[in-house]
Structure 1
Amino acid sequence: MGSILNIVDRNLFPAPEPSYSYQTFTGDAYIEYIRSQYEQNKDNSHQIPILVIPFYENSVQSDKYLVYFHGNAEDIGLSYQFLFSMQMILKMNIIAVEYPGYGIYKSRKTTAECIKSDSLTAYNFILKRFKTTEQNIIILGRSIGSGPASYVASKQTPKALVLISAYISIKHLIGHHICNCISFFISERFNNIECMNTVSSPVLLIHGMQDTLIPPNNSKMLEKRLKSQNKIVTGIYHKHMTHNDFDERNDISIKIKQFLETI
């Protein structure tokens, strides 16, 4: 069973070769480092990289922030073009949080518990570092990133939570792709549908009807759970969209902009 668990973890968190280095971002976008609070870190050796993409209009920096948790098989460097194009529509600062084991964050192994801890640490750091409030923060999670995004939103009260290609839980996803009998023996890593019970922020769910990696019924079940609790939620299901093939502007950015205008 141990070898099966290792295979599951490798497939859940398939970190690519780092797409960036310490020197990659030297212009307007830059990397900051946050001390990880996961387990003991007395020597300050474990540093969480975050990619900061500021937005200025008429030389004045926006007071709005979008905090992004990326999908699997990518890191914050590979996320840059997607985030930059999104910024042109949303006109706000964007901050992408790296996961342990990804990019240049190699000092820790990739585990769900460390990701959860680091994500919450990063969120609280952003509040203090940029002297902002939760009502100025949007949390966005895509694919595997819907896990840490939902987790943080269940513990905090951002202005909104946006989930792209979200799953209801990792156990459910493993059962769908591998075998229900195997998922029975695997401890839950991210349970998004349970997080919805304590999420109080408005939620936007975007999912592709052609998504075979994470079927759209996952987002529909999250939407149903939120509606059953009379929470603000909007579900958008694009007929043509797959897990990785979509129009960044029309399918994602404009839909987020329109949603934010309603809350």
Structure 2
Amino acid sequence: MGSALAKSVVFSPPAIRTLQASPLILWDKRPKGTPGGDVARPFLWLASKKHGCLRTLIFFHGNAEDLGLIETELIQFQAYLQCNILAVEYPGYGLCRDAFGSEVSFEGLDDVAIHALRYVVSVRGLPADQVVLHGRSLGSGPALRLAARARSQFQWNIGALVLQCPFISIRQVAGDWVGPTGALLMPTCYDNSESLQELCQVPKWKAVERWVPLLILHGELDTVIPPYHGHSLLEEARHLGHPMAEAHFSETATHNRWNMVSDIVTPMLSFLCKHVEGWQDAQDSCEASWATFLCSK
């Protein structure tokens, strides 16, 4: 019962958006026997216009979204960030629903997350330490788990992790909506607090570079996942000794309405320029792009 309830409440795929003809859609199939392997999956790939650009962002979208709904937004996002972007589709969503009839599941999200990272690092040959994982809402779960698993399973240290309107746990969000009794019917899947503890298990003798820089973005007007979730995760990260955990809490953002420049791009680039190799020149490129955009108005 709990599993069926979780699927019906947590996962809300939108109507199928066909992007088969989009030149931005690519299909990749990992070898059988590898994590996330033996399944062809669709991704939205936006290559940087800057030749030889290594900095890359892997984007995990929110619940009632798919690649079709976020394509235009990500094109604009990339214009500001001046990086490669790989957007992940979830099993049971969009093209994945047509592709192999896969049902949505937490395990499926983890598999496709590993697939995405292996594609960027092993197929594209892009350095893991310049890869930024960006998880929005529901996507904060697989993004955070992937950041921890990349180090433990593949010995890859991710460049940074950005969590936008993240949750403490699925059960905690359920409690906000239906109360503690109803929350008990939800499985303990995607416990971001637990995943954060795993991410922060860095021996004290390890250099600071072994920590994955963490940025939390949350809107103070968010009524879907209240901002206390973001504040709590930030406090926990700092309590665990994370030396590079920062946050930006927008006074005007809700769950779905953000100012892309002031609420997301500006704090992200300021953070990434400080902590991630290869992103230092992205801020200058972004400012130049923004100035050009304003002049065109």
TM-score normalised to the size of structure 1? 0.90
Distance 2:31 2:171 in 1: 27
- The residue type paired with residue 99 of structure 1 is Y
Give the superposition deviation at 1:179: 2.6
Number of residue-to-residue matches in the alignment: 254
| Deviations 1:157-180 (CA, angstroms, capped at 9, x unpaired) | 211000100001111111111231
- The residue type paired with residue 30 of structure 1 is I
Aligned partner of 2:271 in structure 1 is 259
Aligned partner (choices 17, 25, 33) of residue 30 of structure 1: 25
Distance 2:27 2:49 in 1: 19
- DSSP 3-state at the match of 1:196: helix
- The residue type paired with residue 68 of structure 1 is F
Task: Identify which range, 46-55 or 134-143, moves more after superposition.
Answer: 46-55
Give the superposition deviation at 1:132: 1.6
Summarize the alignment of residues 40-189 of structure 1 with structure 2, pairs less than 5 Å apart.
Answer: 44=38, 46-57=39-50, 60-106=51-97, 107-156=101-150, 157-189=157-189
CA contact 2:56–2:131 (8 Å) conserved in 1: yes
Distance 1:7 1:229 in 2: 33
1:37/1:258 CA distance change after superposition, 3 Å:
farther
Distance 2:103 2:83 in 1: 32
Give the superposition deviation at 1:87: 1.0
Gaps of 5+ in 2: 151-156, 200-210, 276-297
Distance 1:40 1:229 in 2: 29
CA contact 1:119–1:148 (8 Å) conserved in 2: yes
Per residue, is there more helix in 1 or in 2?
2
- The residue type paired with residue 143 of structure 1 is S
Give the superposition deviation at 1:193: 1.0
Distance 1:98 1:117 in 2: 11
RMSD: 2.1
TM-score normalised to the size of structure 2? 0.80
CA contact 1:138–1:162 (8 Å) conserved in 2: yes
Task: Identify which range, 178-187 or 85-94, moves more after superposition.
Answer: 178-187
Whether 1:228 and 2:239 are equivalent positions in the alignment is yes
Task: Identify which range, 174-183 or 145-154, moves more after superposition.
Answer: 174-183
1:92/1:242 CA distance change after superposition, 3 Å:
same
1:135/1:22 CA distance change after superposition, 3 Å:
same
1:33/1:39 CA distance change after superposition, 3 Å:
closer
